[in-house]
Amino acid sequence: MKTVFASLILLSCLSSFAMSGKTPPTSNGSGGVQCAWYDGGKYEEHSPHISQQDCLASGHASCNEQCYTYDQVCTVVGVHNEYVKDAAGNNVMKNISANFSGRHQDLWRAQEIAMHECHMSSVAQDTCNLSGCSEVANRVR
């Protein structure tokens, strides 16, 4: 019963399947390696399977295990205010923005790296604001 319940929870947490390829399992936030089983053919018409037995039971002739680690990638937008002359020769402020990124397994560390990159950029940024973060899967086998 516990196995069935755990299987249902894991399957509900898996990312949605794209017909163009095989999607990695969703990270459970542990920072460790996450593995799943896929149809040995070109496409996996279902979500990834939690075991080889589950994959074979779905009617696949062969199943392959794929394992992933996950990184958090955060983007910070830095804005540098610079005075330039317009066509009439007047000084006007121009906002020049640049994106900086940080990558790490830990979300807070990825944000910290991106913010540090912004503050330490070759052109001093007047403001640095977190734009967002996303998770990136790295296939390890």
The pLDDT of residue 53: 84
| Tokens matching residue 59 | 């009617």
Q: What is the chain's length?
A: 141
Mean pLDDT of the chain: 78
pTM for this prediction = 0.64
DSSP letter for 90, please.
Answer: -
Pairs from 20-24 (Cβ < 8 Å, separation ≥ 24)? 22/48, 22/66, 23/47, 23/48, 24/48, 24/66, 24/68, 24/137, 24/139
Average pLDDT over residues 97-122: 95
Contact call for residues 63 and 56 (beta carbons, < 8 A): yes
DSSP code for 49: B
Q: Distance of CA 94 to CAs 91, 98, 99, 129, Å?
A: 9, 13, 17, 18
